[in-house]
Amino acid sequence: MNPDPSLSLQSFSGLENFGHSLRSSAWLHQPEQAGELPALFKLARQQGLSIALRGSGRSYGDAALNSGQIVLDLRRLKRVLAWDPARGRITVEPGVTIEDLWNYVLADGWWPPVVPGTMFPTIGGCLSANIHGKNNWVAGPIGEHVLEFSALLPNGRRVTCTPRKNGGLFRAMIGGLGMLGVFTSITLQLKPIESGRLEVNAWAEPNLEAMLAAIDAHKDCDYVVGWVDCTAGGRALGRGQIHTARYLHAAQDPQAEASLRVDAQVLPARMFGLVPRGWLPKLMAPFMNNLSVWAVNTAKYLASRTISHHKTYRQSLIEFNFLLDYIPGWERSYGRDGLIQYQSFIPKVRAAEAFAEILRLCQKAGLPSYLGVLKRHRPDPFLLTHALDGYSLALDFKVTPANRARLSALAAELDEVVLAAGGRLYFVKDSTLRAGSAKRFLGRRAVAEFKKLKTKTDPHNLLQSDLYRRWFD
């Protein structure tokens, strides 16, 4: 433990977002234990600097960047503090990752109730962003599975919050971007499972309306997600493929017991049985342009209509959930300037019209998304929530030095479509909005309440990030 931290010039480090499209540098500290945090807060105050909290750096935007100031990388706080395999309750430090978590609990027949598309984020980061998975309709965001957490606030207080005790702070710190305090321990209720495999159904839908209807019809499945071919236009606009999945009972899966072993949960070493996964980002890079993506998406859609139409198969939990981890370093395939994601949430009745407009605007701008993902959502009780009864469309865009300005202009157009449809943006993923956007997308009341809480927990405004300054100042 380092009792007296200082800002050494050498501790200045280059940091990036998940998509490698935003570069930033900051004084980086990696505390070994939570006991070091008070001294770091003191240091920041003395130096007149702010602190941003960072986990695995898997945020698509600038939520874990604090340019020119202090960033605390909390990945070394990664102890499992308690595990009750009978009730499926685990207490962890914030730096434990989703990967650590499922590795720890799987053999006892438990699984994280909500996971993102990659297993590398930390639990602290997942709570701060209140992440959702492909099961948002049935399971809600991860925050709904938090039984209790303890946090150190910048005002020096240590608090324990549950949905009932300190409920206001509970609902604000989850999804609060690490702006109110630092989680020091988190207790999650996990999901009991009898098999480590899922039964997956896949089929194609010819257009956006059919996609939305199919997702809505299957929203009570354990998981449902839609892949959208964003390059298709006209009557095929929004066409794509639906995947649903459900957990298996032991009786339904002869391999149930074996599949609960960690070593049974592997991602295929080769894609299409041929290419080692590690090679893929480099092999894919030359094909990340509008024409090739159009060709690949068209081929993928046609395959989903024919070869894999209404196919049922079984997949391990990690194969189904962690699609992004299939290709290690997939973000690198987008080239030097990386990618950004734009994820909008639109109320159910307005979704078809708004998403169609969004897809058309992207195509008109010559900036089709290379990956589009549709999900079904429902409201949740968290203060800075973006969730609503409707759908989200997550769009990945390649960034190049030449298209930054066009991409920003496009995003600004999309913002207006989203607002006009009564929608919201997942601000943790945003990279394009200008100062003061929080009120427009999160509502005046929520923002005012959040700021009021922040004044209490963080009177000197020590916790900040590039995203926070941009959205809330």
Partner 1 sequence: MPQTKTTPSRFPAEPPLLRRPRAVIVGASSGIGAALAARLAAEGYRVAVLARNKARLSALCEDINRAHGEARAAAYTHDVTDLKAIPALFQRLVKDLGGMDLFVYCAGVTVPVKIDEFDTHKDQQMLQTNLAGALAWLGCAAALFQGAGRGQLVGISSVAGDRGRVLNPAYNASKAGLDAYLEGLRNRLTRRGVHVLTVKPGFVDTDQLKGSPRTFGVISPEKAADGIWKALRARQQLVYVPWFWRYIMLVIRLVPSFIFRRLSF
Strand ranges (DSSP E) for 366-459?
A: 371-377, 390-398, 424-425
The phi, psi pair for 240, rounded to 5°, reads: 175, -155
Nearer to partner 1, 77 or 438 (CB): 438
Residues sharing a CB contact under 8 Å with residue 264, sequence separation 6 or more, in sequence order: 196, 255, 258, 316
Nearer to partner 1, 327 or 399 (CB): 399
The whole-angstrom separation of Cα 166 and Cα 164 is 6
> Exposed, middle or buried by CB within 10 Å (0-12, 13-18, 19+), for 252?
middle
Min dist. Cβ of residue 78 to partner 1 (A): 24
* DSSP summary character for residue 190: P
| 422 token code pair | 């009564």
Nearer to partner 1, 102 or 472 (CB): 472
Min dist. Cβ of residue 404 to partner 1 (A): 6
Min dist. Cβ of residue 366 to partner 1 (A): 17
Nearer to partner 1, 246 or 440 (CB): 440
> How far are the Cα atoms of 53, 66, 153, 455 from residue 462, in angstroms, in the given order?
11, 12, 10, 10
Min dist. Cβ of residue 182 to partner 1 (A): 19
> How far are the Cα atoms of 50, 52, 68, 323, 335 from residue 26, in angstroms, in the given order?
11, 10, 5, 31, 24
Nearer to partner 1, 162 or 461 (CB): 461
Label the pairing between strands 390-398 and 371-377: antiparallel
The whole-angstrom separation of Cα 391 and Cα 408 is 23
Nearer to partner 1, 64 or 260 (CB): 64
Min dist. Cβ of residue 69 to partner 1 (A): 6
Nearer to partner 1, 274 or 405 (CB): 405
Min dist. Cβ of residue 408 to partner 1 (A): 6
* DSSP summary character for residue 447: H
Nearer to partner 1, 15 or 131 (CB): 15
Nearer to partner 1, 2 or 47 (CB): 47
Min dist. Cβ of residue 178 to partner 1 (A): 17
CB-side neighbour CA atoms (13 Å) of 62: 21
Min dist. Cβ of residue 250 to partner 1 (A): 48
Min dist. Cβ of residue 72 to partner 1 (A): 16
The whole-angstrom separation of Cα 31 and Cα 146 is 24
Nearer to partner 1, 96 or 414 (CB): 414
Min dist. Cβ of residue 71 to partner 1 (A): 12
**Residues in the site for partner 1, rule: CB under 8 A?**
7, 9-14, 17, 21-26, 45-50, 61-62, 65, 67-69, 340, 399, 404-405, 407-408, 411, 431-435, 460-461, 466, 469-470, 473
Question: DSSP readout, 44-70?
Answer: HHHHT--EEEESS---SSSTT--TTSE
Q: Output the furthest CA–CA distance in the chain (Å, rounded).
A: 65
The whole-angstrom separation of Cα 28 and Cα 224 is 39
